[in-house]
Amino acid sequence: MPTPANPKRRVGVLLVNLGTPDSPRTPDVRRYLNEFLTDGRVIDMPAAVRYPLFQGLVVPLRAPKSAKIYQQLWDTERGSPLLYHGLDLQKLVQEQLGDEYVVAFGMRYQNPSIEKGLEELRDAAVDRIIVLPLFPQYAAASTGSVQEKVMDIVSKWWIVPSISFISNFTDDPSFIGTFVTLGKAEMAKHDYDHVLFSYHGIPERHVLKGSFKGYCQLGKCCNTYNKNNRYCYRAQCFETSRLLAKGLGLRDDQYTVAFQSRLQSRLRDPWLQPYSDEVLKEFPKKGIHNVLAFSPAFVADCLETTIEVGVEFKELFEESGGKHWQLVPSLNSHPQWVEGVVNMIRQN
């Protein structure tokens, strides 16, 4: 309800990304991983197994190694790229939307928290709230987790606000268009034999658990994007890739879709395949020596893009006989993307 002091109706917008540690020091990375990897939507094991296994064993072993990688990524002045690009986006989107909207930013894990963002919107007396998780493709482990957290928080408020979620933007013209702009800029600087679209992986089980009436079975079911696989992460990754390829003018044999960042565990559960690291090692044997890599599951530079694709995959490719590897930067706060986010919000 509008307050007498501010009779104008205003819409609240909460932009959310995954999360990042407060600093690249091991204790902060441990705290972040403990929150992340005990989320039942990320590690879908019974809580009685998940907490002792991850807090007691996996996270203590992983945190010092992850901390070293975060130290490589950290900007001395601005900190974690995922955080500062998110804050830049918030500022620019707010400027374009004007004072009919109040734009907040939150992280699913660690800071600034989703709770703080929602409280900012409540304190601004907004009329309704639009939540935009900054994940192009819907996954229960990313978007679903943000939705659960938001609903959990507001369900405990005395006055529960009207809320809507933008659950994915797999095929949004500005999301696709900005990546095409960035990709074409790289293509103008160098000749490439092949393009790799590398997406964050998820366990195959997660896709099967969300399969609508058993439609998605990790096969050709994902070759078209339709009402039966609307929420299938794999189908969405293929759809994003087809649209990017079209925008870049690529034939089907000029690009490969693959999945990265699998969490190696002794359980050896299969993740979405093919695995990016295995695919890229084979490229030189197929005569592919110049590769342009995109990370279209992320809208901002982060550990998984800058370090995993930009540094680690490049080294692996060169060790395997490849000549030139280039990562296309993420959308960050590119003006075309800012305008796209503004349009998505206005259309909601």
Q: Which of ligand L6N33NVT, Fe ion, none does residue 170 bind (CB under 5 to 8 Å by kind)?
A: none
Stretch that binds ligand L6N33NVT, among 89-97, 134-142, 176-184, 277-285 (CB under 6 A): 134-142
Q: Which of residues 274-303 bind ligand L6N33NVT (CB under 6 A)?
A: 297-298, 302-303
DSSP 321: T
Q: In terms of Cα–Cα distance, which of 130, 131, 119 is closest to 159? A: 119
Q: For 143, how many CA atoms within 13 A lie in the half-sphere containing its CB? A: 22
Q: Which of residues 227-266 bind Fe ion (CB under 5 A)?
A: 229, 232, 234-235
Question: Alpha helices of 56-142 — where are they, by DSSP H?
Answer: 59-73, 81-97, 114-123
Backbone angles phi, psi at 194, to 5 degrees: -160, 155
**Is residue 137 within the footprint of Fe ion (CB under 5 A)?**
no
Q: Which of residues 167-196 bind ligand L6N33NVT (CB under 6 A)?
A: none
Sort strands 194-200 and 290-294 into parallel, antiparallel or unpaired. parallel
State which H helix or E strand residue 259 sits in. strand 255-260
- CA–CA separation, 305 vs 312, rounded Å? 10
Q: How many residues bind ligand L6N33NVT (CB under 6 A)?
A: 21
DSSP 234: H
**Is residue 135 within the footprint of ligand L6N33NVT (CB under 6 A)?**
yes
Stretch that binds Fe ion, among 5-13, 24-32, 62-70, 214-222 (CB under 5 A): 214-222
Calculated CA dihedral for residues 138, 143, 144, 145, nearest 10 degrees? 150
**Is residue 58 within the footprint of Fe ion (CB under 5 A)?**
no
85 is in an annotated binding site: no
Stretch that binds Fe ion, among 84-92, 101-109, 125-133, 209-217 (CB under 5 A): 209-217
Contact residues for ligand L6N33NVT (CB under 6 A)? 18, 20, 42, 62, 66, 80, 82, 135, 139, 141-142, 200, 202-203, 261, 263, 297-298, 302-304
Return binding residues for Fe(2+).
200, 304
